[in-house]
Amino acid sequence: MTALISKPDFPKNFTWGVATSAFQIEGASNTDGKGPSIWDDFCRVPGTIADASDGVVACDHYHLWESDLDLITDLGVDAYRFSISWPRVQPLGSGAFNEAGFAFYERLVDGMIARGLKPYLTLNHWDLPSALQAQGGWANRDTVQHFVTYAGEVARRLGDRVTSICTHNEPWVVAVLGHEVGNFAPGIKSRAVMLQVAHHLLLSHGMALTALRAQGCKASLGIVLNMSHTQAATESEADKEQARLDDGKGLRWYVDPLLKGEYPADVLEHFGTDAPRVLPGDMELIAAPLDFLGVNYYFRCMASAGAPWDINASGHDITDMGWEVYPPGLTALLVRLHRDYSLPPILITENGAAFQDEMVDAQVHDVRRQSYIASHIAAVREAMQQGVVVDGYFVWSLLDNFEWASGYEKRFGIVRVDYDTQQRTLKDSALWYRGFLEARP
């Protein structure tokens, strides 16, 4: 597959990058005035994290940021997608800002610019300040206004230097895994709460965009959604209906409000009395124009009304997360979005795979990860050939890191991290990506 694509197949101004998030790599969870986040708290609850780990040290990026930026530069990418830890810059999520926290991100952003890297900033990659959770977190409408204030302060300090600002990373995950399934922070299990949380996340996104534009922020503004290509497992009417509902709950519930200003009627009916409380004007605020829509794609979903679909019978490779490797799903997803919506430019803000790696003679021959990335880049190109406007692609992830409830057991990095020594080693996938990016037109 690697031979089939080359960088010249993409437009000259296409942005190539790598991505991380604050809680997953920074560590320094209690340093220089940082406040606690819901993930700091969640990690302390016995049984929540597979290897009983936490984000206290992680990849120690808070201290190793300079050499990590050198590493990114060495890969030859154009851009680095990172997130701000809200409690690092505003320990209680409201009130006073933490100068030392902001100083870290100022150094980081300036360090990117000095190296010719474009900063792609995310405001919320899940680490809500604990003090806000104590007041109900995202289920409390007051959090919306706190987020808008936080976003405004970040944009005031960094907005002139960053290329892009994303409000939320994967609101579905925060809502569903955090508040319905409960296997992610803050560990709540209620469908009604989940729906109110999702609404407040979308509302805070739209209000933040409007506020940032009003204060003259020039960065490209948008949101990042996790999306799948959902297919019926069989041709049966029941499976087709299940696919429509699954797609409605996972994709349309987020994309419709953002791009059409309404919740999908069929899904609203399905949720019944659990539907969120929506105040007059909310939907217009949510539908604030997007400069970009970020797509995080990892796998296809097969919907079945009966027995669960047998992934092992698919014949496709399966990652360490138990996710099917299915690049045509990315093409199908993008083409479908293009067909069903009036889209802003798309960014593939995350794409990558967890596999168990072996270090042999200081090398990691991660053939499956390399093939995953190459085949998905080819799938993006295929969608572009079919008319979809895609402006960039970011590998998830730069580094092996804290994979949430899976702890450090799952490795997504194209760079291996030895957690005992913090040594970084470029895996073959990183070397391949670098070689791919070197092929200038």
Q: Is 228 in the site for ligand IFM (CB under 6 A)?
A: no
Q: Is 296 in the site for ligand IFM (CB under 6 A)?
A: yes
Where residue 170 falls (left for φ over 0; alpha for ψ -120 to 50; beta otherwise) is left
R_g over Cα of the chain: 21
Residue placing its CB nearer to ligand IFM in the complex, 253 or 323 = 323
Q: Which pair of tokens denotes residue 374?
A: 């190459």
Residue placing its CB nearer to ligand IFM in the complex, 125 or 146 = 125
Q: Is 396 in the site for ligand IFM (CB under 6 A)?
A: yes
Shortest Å distance, C-beta 397 to ligand IFM: 7
Residues 6+ apart with CB under 8 A from 164: 118, 119, 120, 121, 219, 220, 221, 222, 291, 292, 347
Q: Is 350 in the site for ligand IFM (CB under 6 A)?
A: yes
Residue placing its CB nearer to ligand IFM in the complex, 207 or 333 = 333
Tell me, by CB under 6 A, how many residues bind ligand IFM. Answer: 8
Q: What is the dihedral of CA 298, 329, 368, 405, to 10 degrees?
A: 20
Shortest Å distance, C-beta 184 to ligand IFM: 10
CA distance 216 to 89: 21
Q: Footprint of ligand IFM on residues 153-192 (CB under 6 A)?
A: 170
Contact 427, 413 (CB under 8 A): yes
Shortest Å distance, C-beta 96 to ligand IFM: 28
CA distance 366 to 98: 41
Contact 172, 128 (CB under 8 A): no
Residue placing its CB nearer to ligand IFM in the complex, 34 or 410 = 410
Contact 19, 397 (CB under 8 A): yes
Burial of 358 per CB tally in 10 Å (0-12, 13-18, 19+): exposed
Residue placing its CB nearer to ligand IFM in the complex, 231 or 401 = 401
Give me the active site residues, please.
170, 350
* Choice from 132, 403, 415, 417 touching ligand IFM (CB under 6 A): 403
Residue placing its CB nearer to ligand IFM in the complex, 79 or 225 = 225
Query: Which residues make beta-bridge pairs with 393?
Result: 16, 348
Measured at the alpha carbon of residue 344, what is the angle toward residues 342 and 345, in degrees to the nearest 5?
Answer: 130
Q: Is 90 in the site for ligand IFM (CB under 6 A)?
A: no
CA distance 142 to 132: 9
Shortest Å distance, C-beta 296 to ligand IFM: 5
Q: Which residue has the tokens 């519930």?
A: 253
Distances (CA, A) of 39 to 13, 165, 184: 37, 22, 8
* Choice from 10, 17, 21, 123 touching ligand IFM (CB under 6 A): 21
CA distance 199 to 83: 22
Report H helices in 287-327: none
Shortest Å distance, C-beta 185 to ligand IFM: 12
Give the DSSP H or E segment for 263: none
Asked, as a colleague might, if the bond just before 91 is cis with ω within 30 of 0, I would say no
Annotate each residue in 404-433 with x if it binds ligand IFM (CB under 6 A) or - if it does not, as one string: --------x---------------------
Shortest Å distance, C-beta 194 to ligand IFM: 18
Residue placing its CB nearer to ligand IFM in the complex, 24 or 98 = 24
Shortest Å distance, C-beta 333 to ligand IFM: 15
Shortest Å distance, C-beta 170 to ligand IFM: 6
Residue placing its CB nearer to ligand IFM in the complex, 24 or 370 = 24
Shortest Å distance, C-beta 357 to ligand IFM: 16
Q: Is 40 in the site for ligand IFM (CB under 6 A)?
A: no
Burial of 78 per CB tally in 10 Å (0-12, 13-18, 19+): middle
Residue placing its CB nearer to ligand IFM in the complex, 10 or 297 = 297
Q: Is 54 in the site for ligand IFM (CB under 6 A)?
A: no
Contact 392, 15 (CB under 8 A): yes
Positions that interact with ligand IFM (CB under 6 A): 21, 24, 170, 296, 350, 396, 403, 412
